Structure 1
Amino acid sequence: MNTYQTFKIQKPKLSCYIGESNFDKDILYKDGIINSAIVSNCSLENFSYENASFDEVVFKNSDFRNCSLKGAELTDIRFIDCDLSNADLSETIIYRTEFINCKLVGTNFSETTLKNVLFQNCNSKLIFLRFCNLKQIGFDNCNMSASDFINSHFSKIYFSKCDLSKSQLSGSSLKGIDFTSCNIDGIVVNIEDLNGAIVSVFQAASLAELMGLIVK
């Protein structure tokens, strides 16, 4: 368990019987469902389909750049070495899912419900997670600079060794969240949202400027 994790994140429930699948976009166009498959080196770049359903799928080295899967439901999914830059995953429901070594630059998760989701070793600069409901979520060793968490609800969430510099966190309560291993330089947050956040002495001195204090 991660040092900053005091709760359990459920892993994707993947059957030992699922195997490699020859993925075809036409499958999604036909019925909008993909389940019980391992998919490698597929491309959904610029693909668009609303309210798709993915269940028990492992995506490896796959390209989702600029695709739109708005309103999709993802359950028991693992993304490994995938590029989801500028993808639209807004208004989705994501359960028991892992993003491992993925590129998530500018990915839009706005108004999404995420539960038991792990982001690990991801480049997720400019990621959008505003107006989200996040429960039992881990961000581990991710570049999240200039990310957007405006007006999101956090419940059992941790950040470990993440770059959160210049991120927007206004309207999101940070109570109980440990930022001591992270870079939070230049974050934008309401003073009341900082109540109960865990920070280092150095970070506290920097955040004091938000309160109009001058630290000598």
Structure 2
Amino acid sequence: MKGTWSMEHPKLDENYLNLGSFFDIYNEEDFLLRNMKIQNELIETQIIQHPIVEQTILDHVTFSDCEFEKADISDVIFKNCDLSNCRFPESSIFQVEFQNCKMIGTSFEGSYCHNVVFNGCLMDLSNLDKMNLKVMQLNDCSLKDASFSENKLNKVSFKNCDLNEMTIWNTKLKGIDFSNSQFETIEIDQDSTKGLKVNTEQAAYLASYFLDIRVSY
């Protein structure tokens, strides 16, 4: 069916992971964390340039006011984590799953994502600008007041997401389907909407937004 594609999931085997702490990343000179399972940990005010996290599960981990610039994150699962207001500028995120994570105000500005899934995540006020997104799914996520501008998209899907008051500028949405997601208002430029699939109510809003047309039913 058009609009569907296969995802590559994180390549890891939980049976072969070592229990540890996120702070083990400081044991390596190049800030490397690999083959780990980290649970129920609080990480506060950490600033790391180019950390590398591979084949790792983070479960119920809270990151508070952290910045990981140019992070390299691959084959990683975040479960029930709190990443609110954390910053991942210019990072590379490959084959990563975020499951039921709290990500209010989280910034991925300038990052590259390939084979990334967000399931049931709270992403209100997040900064998703200037990103290169290839094969990404957002399922049952809240993106209220999120910024989604100046992005390059390839095989990106939104399913049952709350997009209310989202800001979208200078992002080609051709082939993107918003019809099974929801918004009452959205800030978007007209060029970005070309080729965007919407439902009847969303079409009526966009007609009013751009053309001051009122649609009656």
| 2:135 matches 1:139 | no
Give the gaps of 5 or more residues in structure 2: none
CA separation of 1:23/1:142 partners in 2, compared to 1, >3 Å: closer, same or farther?
same
Give the gaps of 5 or more residues in structure 1: none
| 2:84 matches 1:85 | yes
Indicate the RMSD between aligned Cα atoms, in angstroms. Answer: 1.6
CA separation of 1:4/1:12 partners in 2, compared to 1, >3 Å: closer, same or farther?
farther
CA separation of 1:194/1:27 partners in 2, compared to 1, >3 Å: closer, same or farther?
closer
Counterpart-to-counterpart distance in 2, 1:184 and 1:24: 37
User: Structure 2 length normalisation: TM-score?
Assistant: 0.93
SS of 2:37's partner is: strand
**Amino acid of the structure 1 residue aligned with 2:160:** K
SS of 2:21's partner is: coil
4+ long deviations beyond 4 Å: none
Counterpart-to-counterpart distance in 1, 2:174 and 2:181: 16
Counterpart-to-counterpart distance in 2, 1:24 and 1:117: 21
SS of 2:135's partner is: strand
**Amino acid of the structure 2 residue aligned with 1:207:** L
Structure 1 or 2: more strand by fraction:
2
Show the 5 A alignment for 1:185-200. Answer: 185-200=184-199
| 2:97 matches 1:98 | yes
**Amino acid of the structure 1 residue aligned with 2:47:** S
In the alignment of these two chains, the number of paired residues is 214
Identity %: 28
Is the Cα–Cα contact under 8 Å of residues 22 and 33 in structure 2 kept in the other structure? no
- Larger displacement relative to structure 2 (26-35 or 112-121): 26-35
Counterpart-to-counterpart distance in 2, 1:210 and 1:54: 43
- Equivalent in 17, 23, 28 of residue 19 of structure 1: 17
Is the Cα–Cα contact under 8 Å of residues 18 and 38 in structure 1 kept in the other structure? no
Counterpart-to-counterpart distance in 2, 1:22 and 1:211: 53
SS of 2:57's partner is: strand
Q: What is residue 150 of structure 2 aligned with on the other side?
A: 151
User: Structure 1 length normalisation: TM-score?
Assistant: 0.94
